[in-house]
Amino acid sequence: MTDQAHTFLPSGTLTNDRVSSVLSEALDIWSSAYFACVRAAVSCVDTTRHSVTEHPFKATSDHVSLSFSDRGQRRLVELALGESLEGKVLREVDRQLLDDFAHRLAADLVGRLDRLLEPHTAGPVLRLELTLDGKPVGNLLVKQQAIVELVRKSLPTKTVTARSPKARTRAVAGLPVTVEAVLGQLELTVEDAKGLAIGDVLILDRTLKEHAAIRITEGPTTVAVGHLVPENGRNTIIVAKSGKELN
Amino acid sequence: MAGLTPIGRELIGGVPVALEARLGKSVMTIESLLALKNGSVVTLETGLADQAELYLNDALVARGEIVAAGDNYAIRIIELASEI
């Protein structure tokens, strides 16, 4: 994992609260396993405003890295033991034991977070500050994309509602459609059709009192019927019935 | 057992077909189409001098003028495809 920190927070979408929220369960399980009444939390570090030092004491996994300062490591151990080490004389073997203990705690947290996150090998890294009871103990480095996906999963699924008929109608309202007026039909045999000649009068199935049909071109459905009326030199249909009135 | 009828001119010639008389077209928006109601005016692209078109299976086969034949509309053929 690269230690290159990415500027936080991007566009306000990956908020401090959201990041804390998606990691809180893993942090709670971890803290309750080692501490009594100690609340572990993370907050996002704005690297543009704070200089973040990388601590030498480190626990890393594939996607998460946790580093402690000496003070942070000591705080971790003190909270786990439930007593202060202030003024206590520690032998080298004690120090090694406590270092090992702190390392196990850190490795356990890193492992829990690692299992929580989807693997992402590329992309920028977020720097999170780990606090125990509000006091900083170390820095967590996590792939930003992994956190983003975690946050996204935690968000309520947006319900996609079907667009209302009115909305759909508005969307297509301006589209052009060609309609044609049909005066009528007649049925004849192929033989009769072949025998047609100029001057023949073909009587249609529609009386003078009946309406001509308006239908969408090349479609079988009649959308309106009306009277054929000449107007301003054009053939015009004055609609008599349309839509549901036709049924 | 009934005798077989050969598929010949006589049989084919008796097949019914429908001729449709179309007056013309008009382009409108879907909004206008949906707004059609009693009294709406749909002006066709064809003029009074234009002839009605006769279609057989969506193929234009003839043109003619609109006439009245008794109580019905009728089309007098003025122009005809050379062979139908």
Query: pLDDT higher for A220 or A236?
Result: A236
pLDDT value, residue A114: 86
Per the CB < 8 Å rule, is A239 touching B44? Answer: no
- Distance CA(A132)–CA(A28), nearest Å, equals 11
- What tens digit of pLDDT does each residue of B23-38 get? 999 999 988 988 898 9
Nearest Cα of chain A lies from the Cα of B54 at a distance, in angstroms, of 9
pLDDT value, residue A158: 64
| Nearest CB to A177; choose among B33, B69, B72 | B33
Percentage above 90 pLDDT, chain A? 10
ipTM: 0.87
Residue A68: exposure state from Cβ atoms within 10 A (0-12, 13-18, ≥19)? buried
pLDDT value, residue A8: 46
Return the number of other C-beta atoms located less than 10 Å from residue A4's C-beta: 10
Residues of B in contact with A222 (CB under 8 A): none
Res. B62: pLDDT tops 90: yes
For A190, the closest chain B residue by CA position comes to B13
Q: Could you tell me which of A26, A9, A20, A24 has the C-alpha nearest to residue A61?
A: A26
Q: Can you read off the two tokens belonging to residue A75?
A: 């705080």
Per the CB < 8 Å rule, is B48 touching A230? Answer: yes
pLDDT value, residue A243: 79
A159 interface with B at CB cutoff 8 Å: no
Res. A9: pLDDT tops 70: no
Using the structure block, give the residue that is written with the tokens 């196990």. A104
- Distance CA(A214)–CA(A181), nearest Å, equals 5
- Distance CA(B84)–CA(B69), nearest Å, equals 24
Handedness of CA A142, A148, A153, A154 (dihedral sign): positive
Yes or no: say if A106 and A66 are a contact pair by the CB < 8 Å rule.
yes
- What tens digit of pLDDT does each residue of A79-90 get? 888 888 888 888
Per the CB < 8 Å rule, is B84 touching A178? Answer: no
